[in-house]
Amino acid sequence: MLRAFVVCALLSPAVAAAPLSGSFSSPLGMLNVKETADGTVTGTITDPKNVCSFPKGTTVLSGARLDESVAGTFKACRLISGSCFAGTLDGDTILLVTKGGALMSGTVHLDSKGCKTPITGDAVTLRKAGLKPPPPPPPVRDRGRAEALAKEAQPLLNAGEAEEARKKCQEAVKIDPGFSQGYTCIGISFFLRDRYDETFEQYKLALEADPSNRDVYYNMACIYAVQNKIDDALEYLKLAVMNGYIDLNTLSNDSDMKNLHGNAVFEKLKKGEFE
């Protein structure tokens, strides 16, 4: 198993993506997404023949804009199978907004109690109508080699040899363009040289490759914590902890979280508790 890349980085303020509006595909079917002037974002079912049989107009995405993300809740359903019966589920979600507001990708925490849902794993992607689907991923030439290169980069990052680490991880994603951890590694290598915009772009690529990449969620929480953007930091951190993306001991001992110390939500998260 590839060892996780976790680093806290201070990025320059993100440039706000375009307002979200229009028709988006989702795991539940087509949604009508709207963003109001105050940053409230909603997504409603437009086709009653959806996998969950939700009526047309049902709100399945409800959240608020956080810089280049949307944080809130996502509604889904349990699928009937064996001992599993149909039912509605509401889960916390964070979606990173990319491609000028045409793509949202992230994770949703659904307590399905072992039953299947339309969402594979905990990853969810909303793609605006008209946005070309991604090309089929090229055959993985050597995933093992890509992981080995990323492992070789870890001690280089720890030693501050950022460019040498970047070369190894750049080769890793060249071998396997779908290797999300490779982009995370490249992003860290840019951060170590204060190239913050490039760091953020690599994190976007990491999430596009794998919306449930645990390192990106924790790293984003760190970014906002260092910037003293408490609400943003807590939203990312909540998803990271909920989905088991970070060890609670790491959370308790991470000095980059100092701006969150004493916050009631953060103190609960350190214990694995949620509101």
CATH number of the domain at 96, please: 2.40.128
Q: Does pLDDT of 9 surpass 50?
A: no
Question: What number is the average pLDDT over the span 15-24?
Answer: 73
- CB under 8 Å to 113, separation ≥6 — which residues? none
Q: Does pLDDT of 261 surpass 80?
A: yes
Structural domain contains residue 6: no
* Cα–Cα distance, 28 to 122 (Å, whole number): 14
The residue among 87 and 14 whose pLDDT is bigger is 87
Other residues' Cβ atoms within 10 Å of the Cβ of residue 55? 9
Q: Given this model, what pLDDT does residue 13 score?
A: 36
Q: Does pLDDT of 140 surpass 50?
A: yes
Q: Given this model, what pLDDT does residue 16 score?
A: 46
Other residues' Cβ atoms within 10 Å of the Cβ of residue 111? 10
Q: Does pLDDT of 17 surpass 60?
A: no
Q: Given this model, what pLDDT does residue 8 score?
A: 53
Structural domain contains residue 260: no
- Domain of residue 91: give its range: 21-128
* Cα–Cα distance, 140 to 44 (Å, whole number): 37
Q: Which residues pair with 91 in a beta bridge?
A: 74
Q: Does pLDDT of 15 surpass 60?
A: no
Q: For residue range 205-243, list pLDDT tens digits in order.
A: 888 888 767 778 788 788 788 778 898 889 888 877 876
Instruction: Give me the number of domains the chain comprises.
Output: 1
Torsion, Cα of 175, 176, 177, 179 (10° steps)? -130
* Cα–Cα distance, 87 to 52 (Å, whole number): 9
* Cα–Cα distance, 208 to 103 (Å, whole number): 9
